[in-house]
Structure 1
Amino acid sequence: MKRRWHSIRHKALVLSVGPAWVALATAAAATPVHVGSFATDSEALPSPWQVVRLDQRVPATRYRATRWDGRAAVEATADGSMALLARPLTVDLQATPVLCWLWRVEGALQKADLRQKAGDDYAARVYVTFSLPPQALDLGLRMKLALGRSLYGASVPDAAVNYVWDNKHPVGTRAFNAYTDRAAMVVQRSGKEQTGRWVSERANVVADATKAFGPLPFTASQLAVASDTDNTGEQMRAGFAELHFVGADEPCQFSAGAAP
């Protein structure tokens, strides 16, 4: 009789919480949002990716779609040059705040230094920009952003996080960009040790933006990749592939063969 009573209680518990538990589990397992596969039959860059030149006086880094070691990727070739390869971004950062990507560089820059304007170059960078509601910005900051956009165009963001492959600063180094305190720099990879092969990355963009700018209602607006050598005049070849967003507790969805 006692055993039967426990069985009845167990069934009642399952019936009472079962649907809610299933709904919660379904909501927690967010579907990955793929934003950069670069799969194409030609070297043409797939829509909606576009080359964005921040300064028309600076030569543009060249980009092409390719297969690199069997991966559908974009190749960046920099020669004293700078331009972003960018696309607009519409991602629910509450559901999928983690950006995953693969990248590689074929060497390290020699003269770069992220803390100096003259050294503001990176073998590779992944750049996420955010828009913020006007009420989240004080009057002084709104005026500062308006001035910046009058000088450099609409590409000046409300806030941005740059994940960079640096030449000398330790992984985990954080600083603001040498030109603007609206762009936070995060050293995601550094030095020559893992050059010449695909390396996988994972970063919570909301957590990193919050560390830099405080707890604000961030809305993702643009994703960009770049190889940037206009300040140092150096040469670099870099690649990017398989960019996607996942939930905070979900694994990245890479194809096989990338170094962790």
Structure 2
Amino acid sequence: MNHACRYLLASLILSMSLAQVHADNADNSLITPFSEMTSLEDGWEPLEFPNIDRHSRYQLVDDNGEQVVEATTDDSASGLIARVSVEPGDSLILRWRWKVSNVFEQGDARRKDGDDYPARIYVAFEFEPEEAGFFERARRKAVEVVFGEELPGNALNYIWANQLPVGEMVANPFTDTTMMVAVNSGADTTGSWVTVERDIVADYKEAFGRKPPKLAGVAIMSDSDNTGESATAWYGDVQLIRP
């Protein structure tokens, strides 16, 4: 067998192996991969917020032969959420890849008027009433009566930041029950696919000082309602996997 044939055979074997790994990861994921969806309602649903009328736009698109979600935000905010009920155990891996067109010039995770991101992954956990004070429990009950839905508890937000350095974790400027984790920052890798992997159990312990309760949902969100800016993001498969 000549060198060209050996190289072709090796390439084919490697391609088949990578495809199998991708398929295995997709099969093992606890949420529906975007690459396998037939519509945006296939395992995911819109995530919208009170008093925000202008929503970001999400659609399935092809990117080099793989189906991904394209999100467009223009002075808008909304997301897509996969609702789950999962015990995290000792370790639970969240893995995804994403790409953004740009970061927001006015974006700053430490300020309310800068709390916008071209791309973020929002991980919500069930509410723990035993960890909350009386007024927090009363506030949540009032909201549930008005909106007819139980609110989640603490949350982790993995963000493509502008000002916040990679690896830094800060409380959301609107609420300390949500912690912002910068997994990418700045414009150096805009326009390129970036893969991220996090152990959400370890991150929750660092953020809140205790083991996490059940997961309530995993969402993608591209928002720009505070800065008034615009961006496009692409989300590849978001995988929730037990190691």
TM-score band (shorter)?
0.7 to 0.9
The question of whether the paired residues in 2 share the 8 Å contact of 1:133 and 1:217 is answered with no
Match of 1:80 in 2: 75
Q: Are 1:80 and 1:232, in contact at CA under 8 Å, matched by a contact in 2?
A: yes
Unaligned runs of 5+ in 2: 1-26
TM-score, structure 2 length as denominator?
0.80
**Residue number in structure 2 paired with 1:120:** 115
Task: Tell me which amino acid in the other structure corresponds to 2:235.
Answer: F
| 1:245 Cα offset (Å) | 2.1
| Contact 1:106–1:237 under 8 Å retained in 2 | yes
| Residue number in structure 1 paired with 2:239 | 244
- Alpha-carbon displacement from aligned partner over 1:69-101 (angstroms, at most 9, x marks no partner): 322211100000000111201334216511001
Q: Which amino acid aligns with 1:39?
A: S
Superposed CA RMSD in Å reads 2.3
Contact 1:123/1:238 (<8 A) preserved: yes
Instruction: Please tell me whether residue 205 in structure 1 is matched to residue 197 in structure 2.
Output: no
Q: Which structure's CA Rg is the greater one?
A: 1
How far did 1:153 drift?
Answer: 7.1
What TM-score, normalized by structure 1, do the two folds share? 0.75
Write the deviation string for residues 191-249 of structure 1: whole angstroms up to 9, x where unpaired: 111111211100111111121222144100111001110111111100111111233xx
CA contact (8 A) 2:109 2:163 kept: no
Contact 2:91–2:202 (Cα < 8 Å) also in 1: no
Aligned residues: 217
Instruction: Say which of 41, 44, 56 aligns to 1:61.
Output: 56
- Alpha-carbon separation, structure 2, partners of 1:234 and 1:206: 33
Do the aligned partners of residues 51 and 172 (structure 1) sit closer, same or farther apart at CA in structure 2, a change above 3 Å counting? Answer: same
| Identical counterparts, % of pairs | 32
Tell me the distance in 2 between the aligned counterparts of 1:103 and 1:69: 14
Query: Residue in 2 aligned with 1:253?
Result: none
Answer whether contact 1:38 1:46 (CA < 8 A) is retained.
no
Q: How does 1:47-196 map to 2 (within 5 A)?
A: 47-94=42-89, 97-146=92-141, 154=149, 156-196=151-191
Which structure 1 residue ranges, 5 or more long, are not aligned? 1-30, 251-260
Match of 2:216 among 218, 221, 231: 221
Cα distance per residue 1:89-126 (max 9 Å; x no partner): 13342165110011110111111111111111001000
1:32 and 2:28 aligned: yes
Q: Is the 8 A contact 1:34 1:243 kept in 2?
A: no
Amino acid in the other structure paired with 2:93: V
